[in-house]
Amino acid sequence: MRARWIADVTCAVLIGGMLLFGALTWSGAPDQFPMHWNLHGEVDRYGGRLEGVFALPLLALGVALLLRFVPRIDPGRDNYDNFAGAWATIRVAVVALVTAIYGLVQGVARGAAVDVRTVIPLAVGALLVILGNVLGKVRPNWFFGIRTPWTLSSAESWSRTHRAGGWVFVGLGLLTMTTAVVAPGRSIVLMVVLILFATLGLAAYSYVVWRRDPDKVPPAGRTAAP
């Protein structure tokens, strides 16, 4: 309960801070805001003032509310009490990432010399490190984690895949952050490639563990043979 309350307050402060900043700076905000960058760190889409000032705070609000209430509709909702601290950390980390991107957008729109090829991989890398540190504590659920057909039908596959995934995420995050500093020109592309390979690798590992688990269960809802 305490972890949930701390996460609620922290998310409210971050989102409220973005909305307050937007309201206070609205009159002096530029007419165009960078809203998307390509893999080379170049802006490939601009948005108007309303989108630039309030889109990300509202996105953060929607994400925060979704993560706050999704346990109530999860068939595995009883498991959330077993990783309440990890879930609170995940909620805050995701909202904090949106807040960091919001700060980046505001700075670039106002002429700050910011290299997105460094800042975005640093922010995403930090998120991966945080997620990696709590991933092994996440218990089976239908909305978050390494949810393959094999982890969802084998407790052993879920547990071992998430423990391995924790180490993979931490290593991936540290490598992404290092690359952002020493080779920013390649950081975004490398980040995307590494995340893709890590995802495929963990999915394959979950299958291998599932194959060897004598207690794996078939999917629910099979129809009876006629």
Location of structure tokens 């309303």: 50
For residue 89, the tally of other CB atoms under 10 A from its CB is: 19
What are 15-28's pLDDT values in tens digits? 999 999 999 999 99
Contacts of 200 (CB under 8 A, 6+ apart): none
What are 37-46's pLDDT values in tens digits? 887 778 889 9
User: Do the Cβ atoms of 83 and 138 come closer than 8 Å?
Assistant: yes
Tell me, yes or no, if the pTM score tops 0.75: yes
What are 196-209's pLDDT values in tens digits? 999 999 999 999 99
